[in-house]
Amino acid sequence: INISVFPPSNACIGRYILNMQITSCGHTYQRCLGDFYVLFNPWCADDPVFLDNQAHREEYVLNEHGILYEGVHKHITSRPWHFGQFEDGILDICLKLLDMGASYHHGSDQDHCWRNNPVHVSMVVNHMISSHTTNSIMKIPENNDYLKGTKPFSWNGSVPILQQWYNGRCRPVRYGYCGCLASVMCTVMRCLGIPSRVVTSFYFPCSTDNPLGINEIFDCTGKNLCGKDRLWRYHCWNESWMARKDLNQCCGDWQCLDPTPLETGRGSSCSGPTWVRSIREGDLDLDYDGHQMFCRVNSNYIGCLSQNNAKKIKFFCDAWPCGQQLITKSVGSEQFEDVTGAYKYEPGSAKNKEAYCRAYRIIHPVYCNASNCLIERELSSLKNPFLSDSGVNMRLKMANCPMYGEDVQLQWLLENLRNENKTLNFNVGAQIITYSGCPMDQFWKDNVTVTLGPREVKKIPLCISYSQYGPYLYDHNIIKVVALSDPECGDVLMVSRDIVINRPPVIVKLLSQPRLKVPCTAEISFCNPLQEDMKNCVMTLEGCGLFKEPMTIDLGTLASNQQARTIVEFTPYRLGSHRLLANLGCHKF
């Protein structure tokens, strides 16, 4: 007897058991024929996650390899990530995650009726990644302290994280960062059949007081002080494709889901799903957490000089807008795709102003009947004046692309826009900034007096040696350089630059052609570029279809300019396109 089971498009996802009842001669017997899984189906036109593009389905559902984008918008870095949604046991872990989070928004899960709705499923997954009080997948370290767990930036893929959570009785894995959380969520969503991708936004504000403003406070030396607000250099979240019946959508579209718990003034929480188009249009009362996502890509930068911890002065600066650039991995390519236009219109355009004013009235009800002109005047009064208004233009330009061990070379460009001499006294400083905008030590400062003739353009070279920044860098590879004029000389001018220090490369070379279930070898090589020993060097290797679990190699101490070569052997156990990832950790990073 051949039995075919045809689940309807509104069937609840999960594991099913197929039983057969046999009645013979007055006796009834039960026999289990087996079990099967029902998932969302982006190939089915009746399914709410239907995606009518085969190339997009291959990228956003079937592709196990991804790329995370980090750094700053002027220096975007990338690193590969293994989603691994088809690895053995991952589907069962994803369904366990739904079981653990079933009470979220639903009280009881006895009828499982919500499991046919991708909106509710995505909300449960989003909550379980890092917001559940006791059983979330992963935790973010408090105050950048991760001594009691794994370094957040040492992970290469989602599979070890999900396996550690499952095998550890569903206790949170310590530790991760926004990129880990978004990538793990992407793995779970793809595993359940929901098309998903990871998006990175540069200059991401996290403010508790002013939803549409982010404050950075500096002292007279140019040191960035630790205040309530944080300007994240980048932030990662998840987008998932689905038709929202709760919004009367007949076709699928991208929905924004941010699993990272962020402070909102009412406590920390994840956000979404939020229809991406509603963010661009400023329709914030239409969807879950729309006001939060709008503010995170449209906030205004407000920089101030703090004098004696009391009086604050707005300085002249050319600030980058928040949500400067939003990118994701391109379909079928290793390059990134710019999706900024999906979240907001071109800055300064009529549609952008209209959407902003529409959102402003919802965020600030006191302006519900205000005209666009009144709102624009209010916003202008909050912003910093431009440098050109002071009669001087400045910018910091990189003269090199520094790697660990190399000096940072900059060109400080100053232009006098007036027909008169100008003499300015600047305090110049540099400090480490975490990716989440937390200022660390100021390790370098100097005082420079600049005299500019009428309409004169001057270039001043700046050099920060590795011996100056190296002892402070650790896992945080972003340096903030600031030049701030002395307030006693008149108008306060500020120019800044975020600098990314590149990590030295790990080179992977295959020594034989990979074949299914046939041993294969690869050479992993790395050279210590520092003028000092690198201690506690550990190489972690990972690859979906290549390693059942990550391989760790202890390299010990590498002397300056020492070349380390390691031969590894592995046996591919799955057909398909695979990628071998190698990640090096040491006492420096």
Q: Could you give the residue numbers annotated as active site?
A: 178, 235, 258
Name the residue with tokens 């509710």.
Answer: 120
CA 120 to chain centre: 23
- CB atoms near residue 515 (< 10 Å): 11
Residue 4 tokens, joined: 């075919």
Q: Are 566 and 521 in contact (CB under 8 A)?
A: no
**Torsion of Cα atoms, 156 then 524 then 64 then 233, to 10°:** 40
* Helices (H), ranges, 273-347: 276-281, 290-298, 340-343
User: d(Cα 395, Cα 498) in Å, to the nearest integer?
Assistant: 12
Are the C-beta atoms of residues 71 and 64 closer than 8 Å to each other?
no
Going by C-alpha positions, the residue among 92, 124, 90, 118 that lies closest to residue 106 is: 124
What does DSSP say about strands 551-558 and 507-510: parallel, antiparallel, or unpaired?
A: unpaired
DSSP letters, 228-285, are S-EEEEEEEEEEEEE--GGGT-SS-EEEEEEEEEEE-SS-EEEEEEEEHHHHHHT-GG
Question: What is the rounded CA–CA span in Å between residue 380 and residue 212?
Answer: 12
Q: Could you say which DSSP state residue 487 is in?
A: G
Dihedral of the alpha carbons of 179, 401, 497, 444, in degrees to the nearest 10 = 100
* Tokens coding 331: 């379909």
Tokens of 316: 């002249």
What CA–CA distance (Å, rounded) separates 268 from 260? Answer: 9
* C-beta separation of 521 from 569 below 8 A: yes
- CA dist 141 and 163 (Å) reads 20
Pairing type for strands 173-174 and 138-139 reads parallel
